Structure 1
Amino acid sequence: MQTGIILAFAAYLAFACGDATIKAVGDRLPIFEVGFFLSLIALLPALFTKRPEDNWSNVFVPKRPGLLAVRMVSGTLGGILGVVAFTTLPLAEAYALIFLLPIFVTVFSWLVLKEEIGWRRWLAVLGGLIGVLLVVRPGFREVLPGHFAAVGVAICGAITVIVLRVLGPSERRVTLIGAVLVAATLVNGLLMLPEYVAPSRDLWPLLVFGGLVVGIGHLLLVLATRFASAARVAPTQYSQIVWATVMGVMFFEEFPDGIAMAGMALVAVSGLFTFVREKEKTVWPDKTPLVRNR
């Protein structure tokens, strides 16, 4: 289990590095172009998530194509919105909003799956919303498109989690990962054509690095869940707020104030509490494959 948790921490560090790369290149390339190159390059290491017993001939043949299509749409849209969020917001602030994801999972579970939600989880939802208000502070700070994009990422991720509750036990993990990366590559590739700008020579190392660390992050998460259950390693995703804060200070001169830090902590605590309570009430955290939700 220790090995699995360490691998999960490494995976989320890799994802944070990929998101920092998006921020570094986002103001120099169109949004869809960034998404295209990172998704394309991420495909290579992600292919190694295939299990030895699977054949390449059936890896890309889904058992439930309709739900997998929903996963592909939500993952692709979440990725595009993620590029908008990370290029217009401080890294840690973007993560604070994206980590509303468990809150939206709770709400969608109540609305769509008709799950019974206790007062403790509703209190966690309220705590997460208060945390977001502390981070964004509407009326005191300018609300940017990136704020709405980050919330959109959380909503797309929550939709993905709901879908994965059904797909998790039946679909191959490489299918779930590869399908969304292929969809993101194709959609971003088509959308980038009207405004295509050839990346300059100094951008290529960043694009290759960003794509590789995202693909390696997927691979590390799959390895992590072979040593420990998804429910055990999932809380390590909140380490991304720490990585984002450190990288924001080191590379982008982003210094969150005390109120914003308190809001980020409240969002993280609310999300962790929501996850723990859902694990006690349902079995889905053990069945849902731990793959990147955007």
Structure 2
Amino acid sequence: MEKKGIILALWSYLLFTISDAGSKLLEGQVDPFEAAFMAGLMGTVAIPFVRKPHESYINVFGFSHFFIWLVRAVSVALCTFLCVVAFTKLSMPEAMALLFLLPLFVNIIALVFLNEKVSLSKWIALIIGFIGTLVVLRPESRPFGIGHLAAIGGAFCTGTSWAVFRATDKKKGGLVTKPSRLSLYGAGVIGPIIIDGILMLPHWTIPTPIQWVYLSIYGFLAAAGQLLMMIAAEYAEANTIALPQYSQMIWTVIFSYVIFHQPIDNIAFLGIGIILLSGYLTWRSGRSLVKAPLPPIAHQIQKTLEASE
């Protein structure tokens, strides 16, 4: 069962990386708000597969946990837009390296706002990951631009969303009980549809046929990745499916070479290796904290949250 969860997680992360490549293939020809809106719209096709039997579709709007739903909706809308900008402006390895600052943001937010304790071993792993990101980017020799800010903002917005959901997992002092997975998934598609949809209106253009292809790769594969990840979470523990996420760095390097003809130098390879080491150490630091499997209805975000502990 665990092996099946790992395999599904690996496929999920591959789909996520292909989706990111689809956004980069747009090369800024489509307004980022429009691309984010399209991703949300295409993501609605997965809603029937996320819904539990006899669950009302009204849960897509999260009325029973509206504050949590709203935080996720706004965070995902901003993150989706910012990630499109990041992958458009930067090489895939640079953008991905910055997005892997997510665990650092999650733990800092949890420490400051949720009063959670972070172990020394985890801090060491997170700092190693930060060093790896600096090695990839080499800020002393490369200009820091809008793409870098967008990637950091995307990681922070996602970290904010995840930290709020971590608060719902606390047995004592939690904000609310856990929202349903349909509510959580719904926020991730409704947020971009409404927020990015409004912001795209001044710059709306009809995509060309090839742009529709790239938008479909971006939107539909992201939704498929979410579905596979939720299924993987049914078969394996949080920490078990966390480590395969770092396979995205490997796929990113391959796509950078093959699709975008952007070679990676030895220093960048070193930085990526450091980031992978950080991921392994973070995974090891969290293994002892996993005491029992989550309920079958647990959502991907809840699973990934506990993976960083």
1:6 paired with 2:15, answer no
Name which of structure 1's ranges 53-62 and 173-182 shifts more when overlaid on structure 2. Answer: 53-62
1:289 paired with 2:299, answer yes
Q: Give, in angstroms, the shift of residue 137 of structure 1.
A: 0.9
Q: Give, in angstroms, the shift of residue 102 of structure 1.
A: 1.0
- The 5 Å alignment of 1:61-80 reads 61-80=62-81
Structure in which a larger fraction of residues adopt helix: 1
Answer whether contact 2:162 2:301 (CA < 8 A) is retained: no
Q: Name structure 1 gaps, 5 residues minimum.
A: none
2:87 is matched by which residue type in structure 1? F
Q: Deviation per CA, 1:108-127, whole angstroms, max 9, x where unpaired?
A: 22222222223222222321
Q: Deviation per CA, 1:38-73, whole angstroms, max 9, x where unpaired?
A: 221122124411122423244544432112211111
What is the SS of the residue equivalent to 1:142?
Answer: coil
After TM superposition, the score normalised by the length of structure 2 is 0.87
Answer whether contact 1:11 1:216 (CA < 8 A) is retained: yes
Q: In the superposition, relative to structure 1, how do residues 35 and 283 fare at CA in structure 2: closer, same or farther (>3 Å)?
A: farther
Answer whether contact 1:89 1:147 (CA < 8 A) is retained: yes
Q: Give, in angstroms, the shift of residue 220 of structure 1.
A: 0.7
Q: In the superposition, relative to structure 1, how do residues 239 and 64 fare at CA in structure 2: closer, same or farther (>3 Å)?
A: same
After TM superposition, the score normalised by the length of structure 1 is 0.91
Name which of structure 1's ranges 122-131 and 77-86 shifts more when overlaid on structure 2. Answer: 122-131
2:194 corresponds to which residue? 186
Q: Give, in angstroms, the shift of residue 131 of structure 1.
A: 1.1
1:249 corresponds to which residue? 257
What is the SS of the residue equivalent to 1:231?
Answer: coil
Rounded Cα–Cα distance in structure 1 between residues aligned with 2:81 and 2:4: 32
1:231 is matched by which residue type in structure 2? N
1:121 paired with 2:125, answer no
Q: In the superposition, relative to structure 1, how do residues 231 and 278 fare at CA in structure 2: closer, same or farther (>3 Å)?
A: closer
- The 5 Å alignment of 1:157-236 reads 157-167=158-168, 170-236=178-244
What is the SS of the residue equivalent to 1:185?
Answer: helix
1:105 paired with 2:115, answer no
1:137 is matched by which residue type in structure 2? R
Rounded Cα–Cα distance in structure 2 between residues aligned with 1:270 and 1:154: 17
Q: Deviation per CA, 1:157-214, whole angstroms, max 9, x where unpaired?
A: 2112211223466211121012121111111111111111211122212222321111
Q: Name structure 2 gaps, 5 residues minimum.
A: 170-176, 305-309
Equivalent pairs counted in the alignment come to: 293
What is the SS of the residue equivalent to 2:241?
Answer: helix
2:145 is matched by which residue type in structure 1? L
2:209 is matched by which residue type in structure 1? R
2:140 corresponds to which residue? 139
2:238 is matched by which residue type in structure 1? A
Rounded Cα–Cα distance in structure 1 between residues aligned with 2:47 and 2:219: 10
2:239 is matched by which residue type in structure 1? A
